[in-house]
Amino acid sequence: MGTLKIENLNKTYPNGVKALDNVSIEISNGMFGLLGPNGAGKSSLMRTLATLQEADSGSAFLDDIDILNNPSELRKVLGYLPQEFGVYAKITAYQLLDHMAVLKGISNNKERKELVNYLLQKVNLYDKRNKSVKGFSGGMKQRVGIAQALIGSPKLIIVDEPTAGLDPGERNRFHNLLADVAQDVIILLSTHIVDDVKELCSNFAVMNQGEIVYHGTPDNAINQIKGKVWQKQIERDELANHQEKFEVISDKMIAGKPVIHIYSETSPGEGFTAVPPNLEDVFFTKTKLNLTSVPTV
Does 227 interact with ligand ADP (rule: CB under 6 A)? Answer: no
Does 81 interact with ligand ADP (rule: CB under 6 A)? Answer: no
Whole-angstrom Cα distance, residue 263 to residue 284? 10
C-beta of 46 vs 93, nearer to ligand ADP: 46
Closest CA to 115 of 125, 133, 101: 101
Q: Is 192 exposed, middle or buried (0-12, 13-18, 19+ CB in 10 A)?
A: middle
Which one of residues 4, 25, 41, 248 is an interface residue with ligand ADP (CB under 6 A)? 41
The answer to whether 123 touches 180, Cβ cutoff 8 Å, is no
Residue 65 to residues 5, 26, 74, 136, 191, Cα–Cα distance (Å): 10, 14, 6, 36, 26
Which one of residues 36, 79, 152, 162 is an interface residue with ligand ADP (CB under 6 A)? 36
C-beta of 30 vs 39, nearer to ligand ADP: 39
179 three-state secondary structure: helix
Minimal distance in Å, beta carbon 255 to ligand ADP? Answer: 32
Minimal distance in Å, beta carbon 232 to ligand ADP? Answer: 31
Which one of residues 23, 25, 35, 43 is an interface residue with ligand ADP (CB under 6 A)? 43
End-to-end CA distance of the chain: 23
Count residues binding ligand ADP (CB under 6 A).
Answer: 12
Other Cβ atoms closer than 10 A to 290: 9
Does 9 interact with ligand ADP (rule: CB under 6 A)? Answer: no
User: Number of H helices and number of E strands within the chain?
Assistant: 10, 14
Which one of residues 3, 17, 63, 153 is an interface residue with ligand ADP (CB under 6 A)? 17
C-beta of 204 vs 272, nearer to ligand ADP: 204
Residue 43 to residues 50, 161, 203, 284, Cα–Cα distance (Å): 10, 9, 19, 20
Minimal distance in Å, beta carbon 188 to ligand ADP? Answer: 13
Helix (H) or strand (E) run with residue 39 in it: none
Which one of residues 15, 130, 290, 293 is an interface residue with ligand ADP (CB under 6 A)? 15
Does 188 interact with ligand ADP (rule: CB under 6 A)? Answer: no
Does 19 interact with ligand ADP (rule: CB under 6 A)? Answer: yes
Does 44 interact with ligand ADP (rule: CB under 6 A)? Answer: yes
Which one of residues 9, 31, 32, 42 is an interface residue with ligand ADP (CB under 6 A)? 42
Does 197 interact with ligand ADP (rule: CB under 6 A)? Answer: no
C-beta of 40 vs 55, nearer to ligand ADP: 40
Pairing between strand 186-191 and 30-35?
Answer: parallel
The answer to whether 74 touches 2, Cβ cutoff 8 Å, is no
The interface region with ligand ADP, picked from 14-22, 198-206, 228-236, 275-283 by CB under 6 A, is 14-22
Does 52 interact with ligand ADP (rule: CB under 6 A)? Answer: no
Contacts of 14 (CB under 8 A, 6+ apart): none
Binding interface with ligand ADP (CB under 6 A):
13, 15, 17, 19, 36, 38-44
